[in-house]
Homo-oligomer: A and B are copies of this chain.
């Protein structure tokens, strides 16, 4: 089977690698804690950036506003996050973890620590760090608002 033509494309290799990271995520975190990948990212971001606006979240995670709205609605229904109007600008919704949300993030973070081990063990420590660094440079230019 010749797929040498495809292997020259970063997009193809990204799609292939995602098969493995998705499996790792659902086995270790997504399944046990009933979290989607995006929900996990969002909760971790809220843990480290208390009271961030939806606008900031959308920019950081490259989400369109409608998709963030439905994502937050689902997490709000589960009692993991809550939204409150900003005092200084009533258009802005500031998002925070609830105590239950903070507790779940804690468990998710612990479970995630080893989730990619089966992939990471294919590399030396230096190679793994290099892969993450090189890959980061392929991402959108300005995710840090």
Which positions in A face B, CB cutoff 8 Å?
Answer: 1-22, 24-25, 37, 41, 44-45, 47-49, 52, 56, 60, 62, 109, 112, 116, 119-120, 122-123, 127, 130-132, 134-140, 143-145
The 10 A-B residue pairs with the shortest CB-CB distance, nearest first, are: A11-B21, A16-B139, A17-B138, A13-B135, A131-B134, A2-B48, A1-B145, A19-B62, A5-B44, A17-B139
A13-B44 in contact (CB<8A): no
Chain B residue numbers with a CB within 8 Å of A19 are 62, 139-140
A112 touches B145 (CB 8 A): no
Are A11 and B116 touching (Cβ within 8 A)?
yes
Tally of this chain's copies:
2
User: When the two chains form their complex, are residues B138 and A119 in contact, meaning their CB atoms are under 8 A apart?
Assistant: yes
Contact assessment for B132 and A123 in the assembled complex, using a CB-CB cutoff below 8 Å? no
A21–B49 Cα distance when bound, in Å, is 28
